[in-house]
């Protein structure tokens, strides 16, 4: 069996495999309607498999390759870092789906052993380990307010960065979606952000209408004053970017400088993550990714919602069709609060009412 260790430096790709992978990528995009991020993830998984087999022809696939690849993912080579359980599972599933597709393609039906594809499967124990992960900390809403208050706002770039931070605080919008928002997606009168999938990179191309959380005038002003500046001072139009790229120029004295904005949308979410990193460092707090703020928003909902209807509204605000998604995937209760709730369980006078509200939430989300 050929392994990654035996691959020569010259054998870096297989031309026949490349053609097959292009066909599969087209199938994922056009027929399966997968996002570009999903396609890139599949391509990365297939590259791992090819590296393991020494870029052997896909038509030579067999059960030994499947078994060996599965084992190799959990056995680092040399000093390589071991892949996480969830990464191993997603990689194996992606490669397995590829070979299932390949096994029915002309020219491969007689070559691919369909029984061998099953050898990519992990044990039930490993699948449970991959699907369960330790809780990750999230910033509190007070910490986010502290960070925002510490962010400077003298320059146009600093005001843009504060507006980005404030928007994610008030909506829990994903960073990839926030980076693609247009000025017209802000409805100031209704205090809403309309994430239109025609322009915005929303997850699963959903239309998400998010009402701004009432977190106080300082937070709201950081976003709305930025919108006013773009519309009234710069005369930007609804189809212009809400968070434009930085303007790079060459100063005769200083050389390359970044001191303005240009009428161009961000191509990805990395600039927002850099903004968050700088903001937390500036406030003397550990870095939290923009996605962790979604948990903060749900934790805020736990503390403020009084009825199932209110919690459902928060769930919709995050783009969740079911409240069960919100309850099961977001809003990890901080350990201190967890201890308080458990120690005081049964002492509340309105315990029955709280239990009834929880059951209503779950029942409504399951429908």
Residue 137: per-residue pLDDT: 83
Nearest partner of 64 among 80, 52, 77, judged by Cα: 52
**Regions of the chain short of the pLDDT cut 50:** 1-11, 367
Mapped onto helix, strand or coil, the DSSP state of residue 252 is coil
Domain covering 141-290 assigned CATH 1.10.443.10 in the classification? yes
Beta-carbon-side half-sphere exposure of residue 92 (alpha carbons within 13 Å): 27
pLDDT at residue number 279? 97
The pLDDT assigned to 151 comes to 97
What pLDDT, on a 0 to 100 scale, did the predictor assign at position 205?
Answer: 86
d(CA 319, CA 267): 22
What number of other Cβ atoms are within 10 A of residue 295's Cβ? Answer: 21
Q: CA-CA distance, 167 to 170, in Å (whole number)? A: 5
Q: What is the pLDDT of residue 367?
A: 47
At 6 the pLDDT is 39
How far is C-alpha 114 from the chain's CA centre?
34
The CB-side HSE value for 347 (13 A sphere, CA atoms) comes to 6
Reported as a single tens digit per residue, the pLDDT across 218-235 is 999 999 999 999 999 999
Give CA–CA dist 203/129, Å, rounded.
25
In this predicted structure, what is the pLDDT of residue 359?
60
Return the pLDDT at 183. Answer: 97
pLDDT at 51: 93
In the Cβ-directed half-sphere of 350, how many Cα atoms lie within 13 Å? 6
Could you tell me the residue ranges of all domains in the chain?
4-131, 141-290, 295-366
First to last CA, the chain: 51
Cα 356 to Cα 306, 350, 363: the distances in Å are 12, 10, 10
Q: Looking at residue 4, what is its pLDDT?
A: 41
């Amino acid at each position: 069996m050929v392994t990654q260790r035996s691959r020569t430096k010259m054998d870096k790709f297989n031309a026949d495999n490349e053609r097959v992978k292009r066909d599969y990528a087209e199938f994922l995009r056009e027929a399966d309607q997968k996002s570009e991020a999903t396609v890139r993830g599949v391509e990365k998984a297939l590259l791992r498999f090819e590296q393991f087999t020494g870029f052997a022809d896909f038509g030579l696939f067999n059960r030994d390759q499947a078994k060996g690849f599965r084992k190799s993912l959990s056995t680092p080579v040399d000093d390589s870092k071991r892949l996480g359980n969830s990464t191993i599972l997603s990689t194996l599933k992606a490669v397995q789906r590829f070979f299932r597709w390949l096994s029915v393609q002309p020219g491969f039906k007689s070559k691919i052993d369909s029984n061998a594809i099953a050898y990519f499967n992990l044990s039930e124990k490993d699948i449970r380990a991959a699907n369960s992960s330790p809780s990750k900390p999230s910033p509190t809403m007070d910490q986010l307010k502290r960070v925002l208050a510490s962010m400077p706002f003298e320059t146009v770039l600093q005001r843009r960065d504060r507006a980005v931070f404030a928007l994610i605080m008030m909506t829990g919008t994903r960073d990839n979606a926030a980076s693609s928002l247009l000025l017209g997606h802000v409805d100031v009168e209704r205090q809403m952000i309309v994430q239109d999938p025609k322009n915005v990179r929303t997850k699963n191309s959903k239309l998400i209408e998010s009402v701004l959380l009432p977190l106080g005038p300082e937070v709201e002003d950081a976003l709305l004053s930025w919108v006013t500046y773009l519309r009234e001072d710069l005369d930007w139009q609804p189809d212009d970017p809400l968070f434009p790229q930085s303007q790079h120029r060459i100063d005769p004295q200083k050389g390359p400088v970044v001191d303005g904005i240009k009428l161009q949308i961000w191509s990805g979410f990395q600039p927002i993550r850099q903004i968050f990193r700088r903001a937390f460092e500036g406030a003397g707090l550990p870095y939290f990714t923009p996605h962790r703020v979604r948990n903060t928003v749900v934790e805020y909902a736990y503390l403020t919602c009084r009825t199932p209807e209110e919690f459902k509204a928060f769930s919709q605000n995050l783009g969740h069709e079911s409240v069960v998604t919100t309850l099961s995937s977001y809003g990890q209760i901080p350990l201190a609060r967890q201890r308080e709730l458990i120690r005081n369980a049964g002492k509340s006078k309105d315990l029955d009412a709280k239990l009834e509200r929880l059951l209503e939430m779950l029942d409504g989300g399951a429908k």
